[in-house]
Amino acid sequence: MLIDKIILSNFRAYQGRQELSLSLSPEKHVTVISGQNGFGKTSLLTGLVWVLYGKLMIDVDERYRKEIQESGGYGKYSNKLMNRNALVIAHESEKVLLEQIDLSESILQKRRLKENIDGLYSFSVSIKLTNIMIPHLTCNDVTIIRSYNTRSQKEDLQILIDGKENELTQTIGLEIFINDFILPKEIAKFFFFDAEKITALAEVKSLDEKLYFSKAYNEVLGIKKYTDLKTNLENLKIKISKKSASKGDLKKIDDLQHILNDKSQLLELTKEELLQKEQEWTVKKTDLAEIQERLVRLGSAMTNREILEFRKLKSELAESIAKNKNRFNELLELAPFAMVASKMEKVNQQLQLEQRNQHTDLINNLLSDKKRLLIGALSELKHINADEVKQVVDEILSPEQAESANLLLSFNTDQYKQFSAIHNNLKEAYARSLRLLIADGKKYTSTYNITQKKLKDADLKAGDPIIGKLKTRQEELHNAVELLWEKIIELKIDTGILEKDISTVRKQLSEHTKHIKIEQHDQVKAQTSERLIKQLADFILQLKLKKKASLEKNIKKELNLLMHKSNFVDMVEVRIDGDLIDIELYDRIGNIINKDGLSKGEQQLYATALLKALVTESNINFPVFIDSPLQKLDKRHASNILRHFYPNVSSQVVLFPLLAKELSEEEYEILLPKVGKSYLIRQDEQQSSTFSDLYPSDLFSQFNSTQAAYVQ
C-alpha cells in the first residue's frame, strides 16, 4: 500500500488547496519534506493522522490526546485546525455574500449563496492510496477525504474506491473500513512517529502503559485476529451444545450467556460513559484554567479554598512562632551558664572527683567486711595456713586508694544528675539548638508575613463584584472537576472488574459445555469446532513463540546495527505473560540493561530498533512517516540510521527533517540515492505555507538560497 497524493485545504498552516505527491518508485522510495520550524512539517503529519482517524486520533498517540485535552475537547480542537488566514477571509467574504443575499430576489440564488457561506468555514485533508489490496474487491486506488465545518461543527468522512462510493464501505462503516483494511489505529503510532519522542517506547513502566503497548504489539504482530477467531469458534461450539443440552444444562448455559451478555453490554456502556466523562473533565479543566488566568490578570489568583488554607496556615504559623519563642526563652535561662563554660567544666571535674571518692570509700568498707568474713571462714578449715590465706586475700582484695581532694560541693545523687544534664546540654546541644531556633524563628516570621500579605490582598479584592463572580464560578468548576475525576477513577475500576468477570463467565461457559453429550447429527460440527479451537490454541501459542523468537532476533540485530558500541546488547528477551508483552535487554555477563539508565540517544536507538522489528514482523505494507529523524543522535549513529534504518523500514518512507540542524548536507548525500521526491515548505508574509517540488539533488542548494534571502 502506497500513498500517491495528499491534498490539504485550509488545514492549519496551509491556506487554500495545497497538493503534493509522494515517491512511488521502488528504488527511490524515500520522500523528504523539509522547512523551518513552524512552517508546517508537524501540521502535515497531524493532517495525515486526522484524515484517517478523526476523533479516534486520541488512541494513536499521547501527543494528540494531550493536544485535544488542552484544547477543551475534540470540537474545540477541530476548530483550531482551520487556517487562521482562511478564517479571516471567510468572515470578510461572508459580509459580501450576505449583502448579495439581501439584494437577490431568486430563492435558488439565495440558497446557493448560503451554501457558499457555509463552504467558507470548511477545511479538509484527503489522501489517495494506491497498490492496495482489499479482500474480495478489485480496485486501483482508494481516496479518503475528511472535512470539518467550523460553523456547523460537523465532520464529514468520504471513502471513494476508484473514484466512487462503494457499498462495502457503507455496509461495514467508514471508520471500521479504515481500521480494518487500511491501518488499525492501535498500531498507527508505529507508522506515524516523532523520532525525538519515541523514547516513550523505552520508558514503559506502569501496568496501564504495558497493557496499552501489549495490545499494540499483539495487533502489529498479527496475533489478535487469531484470538478473535478462536473466540468466535468457542461461541459457535456453545451454540451447538445448546441444541443437545438437557433442561438443567440449557438453563445453566442460558443463565451464563445472559450474564455474559449483560456484562458485555454494561462494559460497553461503562466505556462510553468513561469516554464522555473524560471529555467533560477535559472541557471543564480548560474552562477552569481560563477562569484562573482571568483572575491572575485581575490580581486575584487565589481560590476561596486556597484562602481558607492560607488562613489555617497563618494560624499554624502563629502557634509555631509562639512555641519557638517559649523554647528560645528556656534556652536563654541557660545563657549565664554558657557564658562561664570554663568554670562549669571545673565544677563538673570537681563533682566527678567527689563522686569517685565517695564511691571508693563505700566500696572499700564493703571489701573490708567481706575480707574479714572470708579469712575467718578459711581459718577454720584444716590443712590451711592462715597466714598464707591472709596474704593472698590482702593482695586480691586490697582497697583502692582515693584521690586526694577537698570536699567542696557535697552534691547528692539527684543534684549531681541535674548538673550533669545542664552541663551536657551546654557542651553538646546548646549552640546547635540555639542556631536552629533562630533559623526557624526567621523562617516562621517570614512565611507568616508573606501569608498575611496574601490574605490582606485577597481581602481587598474580595469586594470586587467581577472577581467575586469569577471566584464563585471557579469554585463550581473546581468541585465539578474533582467530582468528574473521582467518577473517572470509579469507571476505570468498574471497567477492569467487568473485563475480569467476562473472562470468568467465558471460562465457566466453556467448562460447562464440555460434559454435554452432543446429538449425532451435530457431533461432526461440535468435533470440528473443538478440533479447530484446540488447533487454534496450539497455533496461537506457537505463533507467539515464533514471533517472540523472531522479534528478539530482529531487535538485537537492529540494535547492534544502529549502535556504534560493538555487541552493546548480547541478548534480547521478549516476555509473554498472558496478554502482557514485555521486552528486556541483557549485556554480555547476563545482567539486565536498565533502559532508564540509557542516554536519550541510546533510548531513541532502542525505540527505533523496536519499531523497525515490529514493522518487519507486522507484514503490514504502509508508508512510514518520521518527524525529527535525527534529533539527539551523534554523527556516527545518524550515519547508521540513514544507511540501515530509513531506507529499509518500509516500501515508502517520508522524512520531515530540519535541514542543516537535524540533517546535514553530508548526511543527506548518504540518503540521496534512495530519495525519489523532495519538497521545501515555504511561507509567505501571511504565514501561509506552500510546497515547492524540487529535484532531490537541488534540495540543499534551494534551501541555502532561501536561507540567504531571509538573512538579507
Tell me the residue length of the chain.
Answer: 712
pLDDT at 452: 75
- pLDDT score recorded for residue 354: 66
Q: What is the pTM of this model?
A: 0.62
Q: What torsion, rounded to 10 degrees, do the Cα atoms 678, 684, 686, 688 define?
A: -10
pLDDT of 344:
66
Given this model, what pLDDT does residue 246 score?
Answer: 64
pLDDT at position 549, please? 81
What pLDDT shows up at residue 333? Answer: 63
Burial class (CB in 10 A: 0-12, 13-18, 19+), 125: buried
CB contact at 8 A, 393 and 375: yes
Pairing mode, strands 30-34 and 675-683? parallel
Angstrom distance (rounded) from CA 378 to CA 486 = 89
CA 712 vs CA 39, 251, 680, 687: distances in Å: 19, 85, 19, 19
What the block records as the C-alpha cell of 347 is: 565544677
Residue 407: per-residue pLDDT = 57
pLDDT at position 105: 73
Measured between alpha carbons, how far is 177 from 98 in angstroms, rounded to an integer?
Answer: 40
pLDDT, residue 347, reads: 65
What residues in the chain have per-residue pLDDT under 50?
A: 402, 711
Stated as kind and residue range, the H or E segment containing 123 is strand 122-130
Backbone angles phi, psi at 236, to 5 degrees: -65, -40
Distance CA 418, CA 55 (A): 78
| Residue 687, pLDDT score | 78
Closest among 526, 313, 347 to 423, alpha carbons compared: 347
Main-chain dihedrals φ then ψ at residue 681, nearest 5 degrees? -85, 125
